[in-house]
Chain A
Amino acid sequence: MSVLLIAEISGAYIALSATAKALSAVAPLGPVTILAAGDGVDPAPLAALDGVAKVLHVEGADYGHQMPESFSELILSIAPNFTHIVAPATAAAKAILPRVAALLDVMVITDVTKLESADTFERPIYAGNATQSVTSTDPIKVLTIRTAGFDDAPAAAAAPIEGVDPTTGSDLSNWVEDRVVKTDRPELTSAGVVVSGGRGVGSEENFAIIGALADTLNAAVGASRAAVDSGYAPNDMQVGQTGKVVAPDLYIACGVSGAIQHLAGMKDSKVIVAINCDAEAPIFQVADYGLVTDLFEAVPALTEQLK
């Protein structure tokens, strides 16, 4: 068994926690080689993770922008040495790895939540309403790992870093710009606490009370699709079937009804709190603690008490 793990890197920035979680998911399979492809990236932190046999480092503007056409070509150039090609299930990996799988004529397996063995994997289907166990009959397994349920691989003695050559690249697509929302808050998918707002929050201005509670708890801010569609919150905050999947120690849902598509992204949180004025809201069916009340009273009061 030999595993190639594609580190999540945007520009020079390594999403270390996402990569370390995917690493601990696949480490039982055998030695892991990490591919660190980016633009100005220092791969040392990746080499210092436990279970890493080697880091392959390659630089290129297209890799930094996570362009699937060039990136899949790069992975293909080193793929033949590996039985498993894996990545954390980020937006970039979801764009790149199916492309790699098709070029290898194998079926991709996305959003893996558990590795039962080297060829058998668990993944959620139907917005998490069912869990499927599948065995791949393909010679190479191409997987994306849903990281929420895994711990970060610990630090260890540094593994060797080797340079590899970039491939020719592709002119099929060009990067134009990133519109990235800067925040000082913890990253949504790895935060220990998430405070989320839904349509009930009512406006972008009102979302400040969600932010205030989040800041008190050093939490990330999440949102429902309705809140994002209505412009109360940016798209990168969306939690759910088509947004981000989170499993923090504490998830506080404010003015969120709890549609299955939203639950798909948060129902594996350790403790769920729901604040909603409608006692019938489905969110209460997954909540450990519920407050049936107006969020505009409860959320500021909660913030005050937790300061």
Chain B
Amino acid sequence: MKVLVPVKRVIDYNVKVKVKADQSSVDLANVKMSMNPFDEIAVEEALRLKEKCIATEVIAISIGVKKSEDVLRQALAMGADRAILIEAANDVHMDIEPLSVAKLLAKVVQAEEPGLILAGKQAIDNDMNATGQMLAALLGWGQATSASMLEITNGSAQVTREVDGGLQVVNVKLPAIVTCDLRLNEPRYASLPNIMKAKRKPLQAMTPSDYGVDVAPRLVINTTVEPPARAAGEILGSVDALVSKLKEVGVV
């Protein structure tokens, strides 16, 4: 079966984000961008399925600015077979909403007929945690979110999910969507020869209109502001001093 992996280009998780002076968004000009960390885990999991001869082909797909090619090349360098770029924006500050992303992915699914979609659990820019679930709904497929273990056996996926009380194990019929949590695996690094090889792997460039999907946002962004800073604290010299402070402010 084919495995489809949607990967998003986001601000690198190590970068300290700054809000633009006009409060329109976070400033993404000249900052380091990377593949969403959860999506690297999804790519890794897809590659492991291919190594176990469960997946036949791993297709990475990204929706956004043309520069998203970078993260697709990274997926290819890790070992994905081919990539699809849907150029849906020309400004990095324009985020394509999960509903639109899901609609585009649903069209790609119609064309490619994958047996499994491995997505990230959440994009670390908008922190929505929605796209996989929305796509599952549009396709009428089963879903398992926040996976920390995945096993494919005769036509279904057994998934261990991280939930509020601990772990939940579910069985989902294939085709299905699984979204990956941080403890699913440790993504591999791409070797230099593989990075070179990735440059020659096929990358198909598309636009939302090729799929007849309207990506106009449903949410109007009014302002993006920095949260209020906390007042400076104090370093205390001893446990005694801490205990008296805590008593003074009435929290113990």
Contacts and interface: CB of A to CB of B under 8 A. Distances in A.
A289 B233 contact: yes
A263 B136 CA distance: 31
Interface in B158-201: 158, 160-173, 176, 181-183
B113 interface: no
A136 B219 CA distance: 5
Interface string A280-300: 000011111111100000100
A10 interface: yes
B177 to A, nearest CB: 10
A44 interface: no
B125 A125 contact: yes
A173 B144 contact: yes
Contacts of A261: 13
Interface in A251-300: 260-261, 267, 270-273, 279, 284-292, 298
Contacts, number: 252
**Residue from the set A108, A134, A189 with the largest chain B CB neighbour count within 10 Å:** A108
A138 B218 contact: yes
A99 B136 contact: yes
B124 A305 contact: no
Interface stretch (B43-51, B53-61, B76-84, B243-251): B243-251
A217 B243 CA distance: 12
B219 A134 contact: yes
B5 interface: no
B224 A131 contact: yes
B239 interface: yes
Nearest to A303: B239
Nearest to B171: A174
B128 A271 contact: no
B21 interface: no
Contacts of A125: 26, 125-127, 224
Contact of B242 (A123, A260, A302): A302
Given A125-B224, A137-B218, A108 B252 contact: no
A118 interface: no
Nearest to B11: A126
Contacts of A178: 165-169
B252 A306 contact: yes
A181 B162 CA distance: 12
B6 interface: no
Given A69-B143, A229-B183, A306-B252, A235 B134 contact: no
A129 B128 CA distance: 14
A288 B13 CA distance: 26
Interface string B121-160: 1101111111101111110111111101000000000101
Contacts of A302: 239, 242-243
Contact of A95 (B133, B182, B224): B133
B99 interface: yes
A235 B125 contact: no
A126 B26 contact: yes
B120 to A, nearest CB: 10
A286 B230 CA distance: 6
B102 A236 contact: no
A292 B233 CA distance: 13
A304 B220 CA distance: 53
B173 A289 contact: no
Given A176-B169, A270-B251, 4 more contacts: A95-B133, A102-B137, A107-B217, A136-B220
15 contacts: A68-B143, A94-B133, A95-B133, A96-B133, A103-B137, A105-B99, A109-B219, A130-B227, A131-B227, A133-B223, A175-B169, A229-B183, A236-B162, A236-B165, A306-B243
Interface of B: 11, 13, 16-17, 19, 26, 97-99, 102, 121-122, 124-131, 133-138, 140-146, 148, 158, 160-173, 176, 181-183, 217-227, 230-231, 233-236, 238-240, 242-243, 245-246, 249, 251-252
The list of the 3 closest CB pairs from A to B, nearest first, reads A172-B142, A102-B134, A98-B133
